[in-house]
Amino acid sequence: MKSEDPAFTAPTLRKIIHLDCDCFFAAVEMLEHPEWRDIPLAVGGSASRRGVISTCNYPAREFGIHSAMPSARALQLCPQLKLVSGNMARYREVAEQIFAIYRRFTGLIEPVSIDEAYLDVSDTGALGGSATHIAEEIRTQVKQETGITVSAGVAQNKFLAKVASDWNKPDGLCVIAPAQQAEFVSQLPVKKIPGVGPRTQEKLMGLGVGTCAELQSLSLIELKNHFGKFGERLWQLARGEDEREVRTHRERKSVSVEHTFSQDLPDLEHCMDQLEKLMDDLEGRYERHRESRQILGAVVKVKFNDFTQTTAECRVDGPDLVIFASLLEEAWMRKRSAVRLIGVGYRLGAKEENAEAEQLPLF
């Protein structure tokens, strides 16, 4: 789906590009080790230490391997999988090269992660102001200068640009012109909407909804009744509406630490034994924010040995081991099962001392 940029020239329309490096960590490893290019390759933690997959190349994906999968499970699916621990310093170095290329075209860049970003090129004069040509040129320069392939999506808002960048992966470009937007969105599966996970998708399927066209048939009131505040977001995105701006700076909303244990913790007592060490690590991570950011809340995350997880939280204005112990007990009691991971964190107030600022997910 591709068009020339005159369709984007109306004053009210923005030109947003979403850029996503293809299997980035694995791609860097394949550049360093060309002999790994055609074999199943994954970057992740050791299976013996209950690690998970960070990313994998496309030969590995043919075996059903994906990010966040336990490394042990990945090796079961593909015994010949080449599993490497990775080199984050090298990944950051390559990412800096790639973002330097982005900055040749615009200063309005919102990093989403080390290998993903939104660019607003609405007002740039580069390449005649054509978002399509800019995306093509960025992809070319990144490939020539770093060897990494980048998939790109071009649209009038962040939601659609994000969906488009995934449309022709790997090494693809998809442009959604405003005139094509309604048709594109109507055919979009609801699972492509950010925030629609397996449970929400199952609930939508129970309402007879599998595509955005079917989602559009539900009223705003119905969606709010079924999904609360998220229902309003569903109503907007089902119509391709997204007013979020590309933000060049993101304010940290939280700090957290978590640990996956080499052996499951069998009961609450063993979980409590780990809490003081986790709290010390959390305090260390919070230290550099202490002078400028107020603690607004405490959160504990527990992941059980069947990979289900839960969180418990409350308002708090400082470190308090007793409160964290209470939250840990509350979370554990919901399932009363062996635990593989515990996380602890603080919600942080805004730098402008706006204690009611919206908080992003902590974990």
Q: What is the DSSP string of 213-235?
A: HHHHTS-HHHHHHHHTHHHHHHH
Burial 10-32 (b: 16+ CB within 10 A, else e): eeeebbbbbbbbbbbbbbbbbee
Q: Is 283 a catalytic residue?
A: no
Strands laid side by side in the 109-113 sheet = 109-113, 116-120, 16-21, 150-155, 173-175
Please, are residues 83 and 44 in contact by the beta-carbon 8 Å criterion? yes
Encoded tokens for 45: 């933690």
- Specify binding-site residues: 20, 115
Residue of 32, 116, 291, 329 with catalytic role: 116
Please, are residues 291 and 351 in contact by the beta-carbon 8 Å criterion? no
In whole angstroms, give the CA distance from residue 7 to residue 175: 11
Which residue, among 144, 137, 138, 66, has the nearest Cα to 102 in the 3D structure? 138
Q: Look at strands 116-120 and 16-21 and give their pairing.
A: antiparallel
Please, are residues 175 and 133 in contact by the beta-carbon 8 Å criterion? no
Residue with tokens 């030109």: 15
Cα–Cα separations (whole angstroms), residue 115 to 25, 92, 164: 9, 9, 16
- Specify binding-site residues for Mg(2+): 20, 115
In whole angstroms, give the CA distance from residue 173 to residue 272: 50
Cα–Cα separations (whole angstroms), residue 282 to 100, 165, 295: 33, 36, 12
Mapped onto helix, strand or coil, the DSSP state of residue 348 is strand
Please, are residues 363 and 254 in contact by the beta-carbon 8 Å criterion? no
Strands (E), the chain: 16-21, 41-44, 53-56, 82-84, 109-113, 116-120, 150-155, 173-175, 254-265, 295-304, 309-315, 339-348
Residues forming the active site: 116
